[in-house]
Amino acid sequence: MKKLSFIDKLIYVINSLMAFFLLFSYATPYVSPQSIPVFAIVSLLVPFLLIANILFFLYWLIKLKKQLFTSLIILAIGWFISTPFYKLTTKNNALNNDLKIMSYNVRAFNHWKWTDEKNTVSKIKKFLNQQNPDILIIQENISYPKYLLDFKYSFIKNKYKKGHLGSAIYSNFPIINKGNINFKNSANEITFVDILKKTDTIRVYNFHLQSLQISPNKENFGEKDSKKLIKNLEQKFTQQAVQTELFLEHQKKWKGKKIICGDFNNTAYSWVYKQIIRNKKDAFLEAGKGFGKTFRYWFPMRIDFILVDDSMNVNQFKNFSFKYSDHFPILARVNW
């Protein structure tokens, strides 16, 4: 430190803080938001902390200073114990008998004109027809006739009796059972269907965990002040934890194959993800490439997932930069 300039000393202090918070964040997937809610907020910041530490490492590397080891060591620890932030390689072993499953939060097909984009419905329908998934999982669906999609089978569930907003599961395979996991005091829920593919019955869950109800592009994310923002996030993450526990109990009753898709409203560094991924594979980590960005924000946020049983093979995974919602669609080809 003695040989550093004043500016470099200040940069190193900030670097040390970022490295400490990143190291601290590695513990967040193991602590339920119900016990320490603030841990969940830290998990949301992990992608930012990773990028910051990579930049600090590069800064000291260019200057050939030993301070580079501060971030390097913390990043190396994360490489072995944390979920990868970026995938360097991909996998493309698509087979003719793969099950093609897509998940997409459509933001009500732009029903309330959140964007000035024209002909949103027709563009989304055209895109879906081009991709031709066997199973399509939709969050923030709206069930007016003009938004219905052309599949042989479907399960469309509205959250409220007098409302049209909810979720939808479309399938080209017979749906032999269906249901939902209702969340109290929430507009979100989990729905599921059991589909029959030849002699196999697969349960497919459609996740839409508690929305954080923040506006990423506004000051304080749309809240009046930081204290109110933190309090709101703590409440929402606690709700997500309760909802996750309801799912964990529900899935114990099903002994067959299962696929979990949807909008978690949380990252792969959270307690929620850590609980749900047990004995499952993340399709992006198995076959995807890049950041796996699923949310329309300037920063690469991955909050939509397709998870499959350990016994299944993920032969392909795709992210689409399709701009007609605040989420991007994802597609996986799986086999067993």
Q: Are residues 217 and 119 located together in one domain of the fold?
A: yes
220 pLDDT band, cuts 50/70/90, is low
Report long-range pairs for 49-57 (Cβ below 8 Å, ≥24 apart).
49/18, 49/21, 49/22, 49/25, 50/22, 50/75, 50/78, 50/85, 51/299, 52/18, 52/22, 53/15, 53/18, 53/19, 53/22, 56/11, 56/14, 56/15, 56/18, 56/19
For the chain, the domain total comes to 2
In a domain, 141, yes or no: yes
In a domain, 222, yes or no: yes
In a domain, 94, yes or no: no
pLDDT of residue 219: 60
Q: Are residues 195 and 314 located together in one domain of the fold?
A: yes
Q: Tell me the average pLDDT across 175-195.
A: 96
Q: Are residues 131 and 275 located together in one domain of the fold?
A: yes
**Higher-pLDDT residue of 163, 76:** 76
Domain that holds residue 169: 99-335
In a domain, 90, yes or no: no
> Which residues does residue 157 pair with via DSSP β-bridges, in sequence order?
167
8 Å CB contact between 154 and 172: no
Strand 189-197 to strand 165-171: parallel, antiparallel, or no bridges (unpaired)?
Answer: unpaired
Q: Tell me the average pLDDT across 173-188.
A: 96
Q: Are residues 198 and 297 located together in one domain of the fold?
A: yes
3-state secondary structure of 211: coil
Domain boundary among 81, 109, 130: 81
Task: Name the pTM for this structure.
Answer: 0.93
Q: Are residues 17 and 164 located together in one domain of the fold?
A: no
pLDDT of residue 335: 96
- pLDDT at 180 > cutoff 90: yes
Q: Are residues 237 and 178 located together in one domain of the fold?
A: yes
Q: Tell me the average pLDDT across 222-248.
A: 89
User: What CATH number does the domain containing 285 carry?
Assistant: 3.60.10.10
Q: Are residues 163 and 294 located together in one domain of the fold?
A: yes
pLDDT of residue 1: 67
pLDDT of residue 162: 82
Which DSSP letter does residue 31 get? S
For residue range 200-215, list pLDDT tens digits in order: 999 999 999 999 987 7
Q: Are residues 107 and 13 located together in one domain of the fold?
A: no
In a domain, 214, yes or no: yes
Q: What is the mean pLDDT of the chain?
A: 93
Q: Are residues 76 and 114 located together in one domain of the fold?
A: no
- pLDDT at 333 > cutoff 90: yes
Q: Are residues 67 and 176 located together in one domain of the fold?
A: no
d(C-alpha 30, C-alpha 253), whole Å: 24
pLDDT of residue 321: 92
In a domain, 50, yes or no: yes
**Higher-pLDDT residue of 269, 229:** 269
Domain boundary among 18, 50, 81: 81
- pLDDT at 176 > cutoff 80: yes
In a domain, 88, yes or no: no
For residue range 25-82, list pLDDT tens digits in order: 999 999 999 999 988 998 989 999 999 999 999 999 999 999 999 999 999 999 999 9
For residue range 134-144, list pLDDT tens digits in order: 999 999 999 99
Residue 181 identity: I
Closest CA to 237 of 276, 264, 219: 264
d(C-alpha 278, C-alpha 276), whole Å: 6
Q: What are phi and psi of 155, to 5 degrees?
A: -135, 105
In a domain, 41, yes or no: yes
